[in-house]
Amino acid sequence: MNRPTNRPTGHDVILALNAGSSSLKFVVFAAQDGDSALAEGLVDRIGSDAASIRLRDGAGADLPVAEGRPADHAAALQLALDSLSAALPDARVVAVGHRVVHGGTTFRGPVIVDEPVMAQIEALRPFAPLHQPHNIAGIRAAMAAFPGVPQIACFDTAFHRTHPWVNDTFALPSSFYDEGVRRYGFHGLSYDYITSELHRIAPLIAAGRVVIAHLGNGASMCAVQNGRSVASTMGFTALDGLPMGTRSGQLDPGVVLYLMDQRGMTTAEVRRLLYEKSGLLGLSGGLSNDMRTLESAATPEAQQAIDYFVFRIQRELGAMAAAMGGIDALVFCGGIGENSRLIRARVCERTEWMGLEIDHGRNDRNETIISSDVSRGHVMVIPTNEGLVIARAARDLLNLGGSTT
């Protein structure tokens, strides 16, 4: 892929990056318009001998990739660019957009990155120790690969800055709130996309009380009223709320004190336990953090992991509805929410009291609307698209034209 010339052309593209701890997702969109990706891929297991890359075109067909075992995010980005150069030889990158997990209280929307902005993003490392360093590494790698090309930071926390104070604070002395110890909420880019998509396909539903369930290796739920986030299951960190692939989710803070005081565990050991060894992986006896594996397994531990995951979703669904005084629609998204017919059916087994009932045939067919004809509220499945939210933000900030909503 090439750097841009001064004259915009039909070959100008936006590169959207999502840097994880050991992965780099990348999506390419036309710079001026279009919601369909031109190409997308994933560099996985960065830093290991098992590192790999996958690349697909806009229709989902696999494309040839460059060979390499990237040791860090800079090398992973170069591998992605080498692969994209063959797939899109005439493409010129005019902007690079980045998912940044934590924006603190400062960033309420996307921004063009300069050194002062980078300093603020760097200062938020302690608030998101598992994610922020890798987001920063992705930005630095893109700056080096495309000097002079605008870098756009899009924050997962920004969508939730509309929370009322009671859903934004903890019952701690107010000085902690003032220094940033508060509920931030995450997965905001996903919720932003689902909300905009609802406005497009079902404006009456979008204007009501919607609970969005982003269920994947990272999982959370958000209460959205008239398009605005009013509550989220995730709080100070992306560790709170629902159980996830390897993260514990909601936990009595006394457990952490016990682990440190009675078990003698260090901060690093507790962090690793809660972030990397818990959730579905821990509940299944170490079998897997992948819901597909758990659904196909016949072990009691796998079933218990699924049961707990479903129970916590049902419990949080009630809490999200209570925050809005009711519910008009439930929307599933994320890898599990979009693909697991079993989880959706299990979650909706105990939602009739809320006026939600699914049609099992529609659910099995993965239709967009899976609620039954007699359901008072809607149950929907909408695939999320965080990359498109990033591309739209870049178009908007840089006045590139085309759709920005």
Q: What is the C-alpha to C-alpha distance for residues 30 and 16, in angstroms, rounded to an integer?
A: 11
Number of structural domains the chain divides into = 2
Place 45 in a pLDDT band, splitting at 50, 70 and 90: confident
Is there a contact between 260 and 300 (Cβ–Cβ < 8 Å)? no
What pLDDT is recorded for position 3?
Answer: 52
Same domain, 226 and 344: yes
57 catalytic residue (yes or no): no
Domain boundary at 155, 188, 216, which?
A: 155
Tell the residue number behind the tokens 């899109």, with chain if given.
Answer: 88
- How far from each other are the two terminal CA atoms of the chain, in whole angstroms? 27
pLDDT in tens, 262-281: 999 999 999 999 999 999 99
Does the predicted model carry a pTM greater than 0.75? Answer: yes
Sign of CA pseudo-dihedral 169, 227, 392, 238: positive
Same domain, 222 and 325: yes
Same domain, 217 and 340: yes
Same domain, 117 and 213: no
Write down the catalytic residue from 12, 156, 168, 240.
Answer: 156
- Per the domain annotation, does 56 fall within a domain? yes
Structure tokens that stand for 197 in this block: 């998509």
H helices of 286-330, in order, are 291-296, 300-324
Same domain, 208 and 137: no
Percent of the chain's residues with pLDDT above 70: 96
pLDDT in tens, 347-356: 999 999 999 9
Place 1 in a pLDDT band, splitting at 50, 70 and 90: low
Same domain, 223 and 325: yes
Q: Residue 366's domain is classified under what CATH number? A: 3.30.420.40
Same domain, 20 and 149: yes
What pLDDT is recorded for position 93?
Answer: 96
Mean pLDDT of the chain, nearest integer:
94
Q: Half-sphere exposure of residue 6, counting CA atoms within 13 Å on the CB side?
A: 0
- Per the domain annotation, does 160 fall within a domain? no
Domain range for 213 is 204-381
Tell the residue number behind the tokens 């965080």, with chain if given.
Answer: 386
Q: What is the C-alpha to C-alpha distance for residues 110 and 78, in angstroms, rounded to an integer?
A: 25
- Per the domain annotation, does 162 fall within a domain? no
> Does residue 102 register a pLDDT over 60?
yes
pLDDT in tens, 288-336: 999 999 999 989 999 999 999 999 999 999 999 999 999 999 999 999 9
Place 401 in a pLDDT band, splitting at 50, 70 and 90: low
What pLDDT is recorded for position 130?
Answer: 81
Tell the residue number behind the tokens 């010129």, with chain if given.
Answer: 92
What pLDDT is recorded for position 10?
Answer: 57
pLDDT in tens, 216-264: 999 999 999 999 999 999 999 999 999 999 999 999 999 999 999 999 9
Closest Cα to residue 87, out of 127, 37, 52? 37
Same domain, 135 and 214: no
Same domain, 148 and 244: no
Residues across the chain: 405
- Residue 363's φ and ψ, nearest 5 degrees, are -65, -45
The mean pLDDT value for 358-376 works out to: 98
- Per the domain annotation, does 178 fall within a domain? no
- Per the domain annotation, does 54 fall within a domain? yes
Same domain, 129 and 237: no
The mean pLDDT value for 122-147 works out to: 92
Q: What is the C-alpha to C-alpha distance for residues 153 and 119, in angstroms, rounded to an integer?
A: 13
Same domain, 208 and 148: no
The mean pLDDT value for 93-103 works out to: 96
Same domain, 222 and 369: yes
- Per the domain annotation, does 255 fall within a domain? yes
- Per the domain annotation, does 273 fall within a domain? yes
- Per the domain annotation, does 372 fall within a domain? yes
Give per-residue burial for 252-278: e unless 16+ CB within 10 Å, then b: eeeebeebeeeeebeeeebeebbbbeb
